[in-house]
Amino acid sequence: MQSRETSTHGISKRARGNRKSRTTLNSIPAMTSTATSKPAQATGPVSPDDSCKTKITPACLQAIYNIPPDSALNTSSNIFVASFVGESADPADLKKFLGEFRPDVSQGTTFRVKAVDGGTNNASKATIEASLDVQYTVGVAAGVDTTFVSVGSNNTDGIAGFLDVINDLISQEEPPFVLTTSFGFNEKDVPVGLANNLCNAYAKLGARGTTIIFGSGDGGVAGIQNQNCTTFVPTFPSSCPFVTSVGGTNSFGPEVAVSFSAGGFSNVFARPKYQDDVVPAYLKTLGSTNKGLFNASGRGFPDIAAQAKSFQVVRGGQTISVSGTSAAGPTVAGVVALLNDAVFQDGGQPLGFLNPLLYSSAASALNDITQGNNPGCGTDGFPTSEGWDPVTGLGTPDFAKLLDVVKKSS
């Protein structure tokens, strides 16, 4: 695993300026090291370049996941990127990123900024997480309107503004169609009442047509970040059954799980009905492994996965390599936004709450990941397996196959 850059990103902290906050907010830690139209339609497979095994770019993601390079046409499709603790993105960095990695997209492409709880975007002090999230939502879903939501510290919701931003979006006449977030908590650090309130708010927003995406975390079975533990540590909001949790993979031919991909079972939320087939099947295969270290009756996560290592990101004018499920989340958000665009072209409705579709007809449109595990707490963690597993979920997206499923179901 690569060394983490010393910054506000990836460091455990109380939400700044919020003394009433009762939870410890973490970014899903992006691990870094310095390194050098028409509506979206299914296209024929393109073999990824060998360089994609060591450096991920939008072109790599297009090739690995059959994502079309075409820009979206429907002006309705959009992505909101929620960010916290002073994270900021620079339009100049996005311009350089597009010039280097998406030269087919106008370098004049930019993003909107929305403030909640006094949040601001300080472009002169761009941070890793915000740069990653903006560049890969724009870079994957070209032509889709992207809004960076900066959540400040002027909150009293007890959970660092997480509930405030969702209530703000619920109150909008037209909430976003995709919301991606690369921050989270260890579930045990969130009071149960707060967790339930926030999870119920996600359910309301999903019912309005928003697909809500979270990176699962980077500590394997140890939680958001690696830590000493004697029982497995689920993460939240990934453990909420009304969000889509994204784990991490790397390489291709075959694609394998990254060891830091957080996953497991909630100690707060019961297994949702849409998991009633896949989770018992996994537990039967698992047998007595890790017995007593997790809640077998809890909601399993993640739901899906995507590449999570060595993403090429421009920050402060310099290209760096970034790893973490915080890279996988925006990738999946881009895929969903392009699927929405295709559906809108046909007069259809947004995908909204995604999990019921993923666990039914869309399961066959995912690339099953059967190699790897997510160690932590002095164990090897959970192993991947055929079908769903608490490392990579149901697998990684194949845009062409998903588009076929979505069109048939819309």
- DSSP track, 73-109: --TT-EEEEEE-TT----HHHHHHHHHHH-TTS-TT-
> By C-alpha distance, which of 391, 13, 26 is closest to 221?
391
Tell me whether residue 117 is in a domain. Answer: yes
Token pair for 286? 């698992």
- Identify whether the C-beta of residue 115 lies closer than 8 Å to the C-beta of residue 152: yes
Number of C-alpha atoms within 13 angstroms, CB side, residue 263? Answer: 35
- The answer on whether 10 is annotated among ligand-binding residues is no
Count: domains in the chain: 1
pLDDT tens by residue, the chain, 410 residues: 333 332 223 322 222 223 333 345 665 545 544 443 344 454 456 789 999 999 999 999 999 999 999 888 878 899 999 999 999 999 999 999 999 999 999 989 999 999 999 999 999 999 999 999 999 999 999 999 999 999 999 999 999 999 999 999 999 999 999 999 999 999 999 999 999 999 999 999 999 999 999 999 999 999 999 999 999 999 999 999 999 999 999 999 999 999 999 999 999 999 999 999 999 999 999 999 999 999 999 999 999 999 999 999 999 999 999 999 999 999 999 999 999 999 999 999 999 999 999 999 999 999 999 999 999 999 999 999 999 999 999 999 999 999 999 998 87
Tell me whether residue 57 is in a domain. Answer: no
What pLDDT score does 47 carry?
A: 85
User: How would you class 42 by CB atoms within 10 Å of its CB: exposed for 0-12, middle for 13-18, buried for 19 or more?
Assistant: middle
Tell me whether residue 7 is in a domain. Answer: no
What pLDDT score does 14 carry?
A: 24
Token pair for 259? 């060891």
What pLDDT score does 25 carry?
A: 60
Tell me whether residue 357 is in a domain. Answer: yes
- The answer on whether 387 is annotated among ligand-binding residues is yes
How far is it, in rounded angstroms, from Cα 281 to Cα 264?
A: 15
How far is it, in rounded angstroms, from Cα 173 to Cα 190?
A: 30
* Phi, psi angle pair for 145, to nearest 5°: -65, 125
CATH of the domain at 163: 3.40.50.200
Domain span at residue 324 reads 13-38+70-409
How far is it, in rounded angstroms, from Cα 210 to Cα 203?
A: 9
Token pair for 258? 């990254």
Tell me whether residue 53 is in a domain. Answer: no
* Strand duo 256-257 + 311-315: pairing: unpaired
Q: What is the pTM of this model?
A: 0.91
User: Catalytic residue positions?
Assistant: 129, 133, 326
C-alpha distances in Å from residue 357, one per residue of 229, 240, 365, 394, 404: 35, 17, 11, 12, 13
Tell me whether residue 295 is in a domain. Answer: yes
Tell me whether residue 59 is in a domain. Answer: no
How far is it, in rounded angstroms, from Cα 280 to Cα 185?
A: 26
- The answer on whether 303 is annotated among ligand-binding residues is no
What pLDDT score does 158 carry?
A: 95
How far is it, in rounded angstroms, from Cα 274 to Cα 197?
A: 21
Tell me whether residue 239 is in a domain. Answer: yes
- The answer on whether 64 is annotated among ligand-binding residues is no
User: How would you class 124 by CB atoms within 10 Å of its CB: exposed for 0-12, middle for 13-18, buried for 19 or more?
Assistant: exposed
